Amino acid sequence: MYAMTIPVPGGPDALVWAEVPDPVPGPGEVLIDVVASAVNRADILQRQGFYDPPPGASPYPGLECSGRIAALGPGVHGWAVGDEVCALLSGGGYAERVAVPVGQVLPVPDGVSVVDAAGLPEATCTVWSNLFGWFDGGSLTSSNVFMVAHLRPGETLLVHGGGSGIGTMAVQLAKAVGARVAVTAGSRDKLERCRELGADILIDYREQDFVEELAKVTGGVGADVILDIVGAKYLARNVDALAVNGRLVIIGLQGGRKAELDLGTLLTKRAAVMGTSLRGRPLAEKATIVAAVREHVWPLIAGGRVRPVVDRTMPLREAAEAHRVLEESSHVGKVLLTTDDR
């Protein structure tokens, strides 16, 4: 098969389309003929040499894919060759085939094309596992929730990077559970797209201070939960923007790794700062998250309340150009890569 390899880390042109050995599904794995993958910030970091795959993972970039099951490894039940699926990956999505643990495989949701489904696994699993969790009571309004941020109906969520793949999914899911949603983005066009998805409070971070704007619209209360992809650059201001008992969840480091934190402010607000990642989680944890997403998010997608937001679709062989698009931040939602050169 062919895959997008990284012989030497570097810029977008470091991605090289090359013939590589076909993967073989091991026990508890399925082999997927890839129809599409999606571009994530982690792929860019891996290309640059800053984010190696976890031990045992495919060396090729790509944290999610969609396609059709080509083979079942030993011990796999409940799936059949030919099933249309999408999957959360530790790597290997930029390839014609990928082997993945069966616990990370999802059916293509009703009403979604097999291509567009490639943009769902990473965003839905990231957002659900960080904001909501799995609801033991079986209801989106259940109070019996295990999660990082424990976002509740009626609370205010601030999403940084509202126009990103994660951001567009967070807006939709937060609205589905009855939260009030504020977003930051770098253009009026992106903010308008967020408004169309349900965002209530729109903040242009290039022209407005999000701490001040959030204080204005919440009567000085602030955000109950902040989902942050920026990291160090926003740390102090994020804490300032939190409400009493607020929760800051950091899932990205686009603004750096290290910053000073005023613990006095944190203590006064009885607030929490948490950092999480998805790629390196143990297989059992990933399987639990994927199962919860299938149970709680897939019906929202099938019912039309949540949808994948796709900015554009490009051939996998043009992955370098797709990386440039992401680095320019000119997109809204997901940039997808297809194996059939469409």
Do residue 68 and residue 47 come from a single domain? yes
Closest C-alpha to 40, from 232, 322, 285, 257: 322
Question: pLDDT category, 256, cuts 50, 70, 90?
Answer: confident
Check: CB of residue 242 under 8 Å from CB of residue 248: yes
Q: Does one domain contain both 129 and 250?
A: yes
Of 15-19, 63-67, 121-125, 137-141, the range with the lowest mean pLDDT is 137-141
Q: What is the CATH number of the domain that holds 244?
A: 3.40.50.720
Overall number of domains in the chain? 2
Examine the domain organization and report whether 246 and 316 are in the same domain: no
Check whether residue 96 and residue 232 sit in a common domain.
Answer: no
Residue 237 lies in a domain: yes
The rounded distance, in Å, linking the Cα atoms of 240 and 113 is 42
The domain containing residue 31 runs over which residues?
2-120+308-338
> Do 134 and 109 reside in the same domain of the chain?
no
Last residue of a domain, one of 258, 275, 292: 275
pLDDT digits (tens, 9 = 90+) for 310-336: 999 999 999 999 999 999 998 999 999
The residue out of 254, 275, 296 marking a domain boundary is 275
Q: Is residue 294 part of a domain?
A: no
**pLDDT, tens digit (0-9, with 9 covering 90-100), for 30-84:** 999 999 999 999 999 999 999 999 999 999 999 999 999 999 999 999 999 999 9
SS3 197: helix
User: Per DSSP, what are the bridge partners of residue 312?
Assistant: 335
Residues 265 and 132 in one domain: yes
pLDDT surpasses 50 at 140 = no
**Same domain for 66 and 154:** no
**Inter-residue contact 312 to 325 (CB < 8 Å):** yes
160 within 8 A of 255, measured Cβ to Cβ: no
pLDDT band at 341 (very low <50, low <70, confident <90, very high): low
- Around 98, how many Cα atoms within 13 Å sit in the side-chain half-sphere? 34
* 93 and 148 share one domain: no
* 18 shares its domain with 57: yes
* Same domain, yes or no: 63 and 85: yes
In a domain, 58, yes or no: yes
Q: What is the pLDDT of residues 112-129, one digit of tens each?
A: 999 999 999 999 999 999
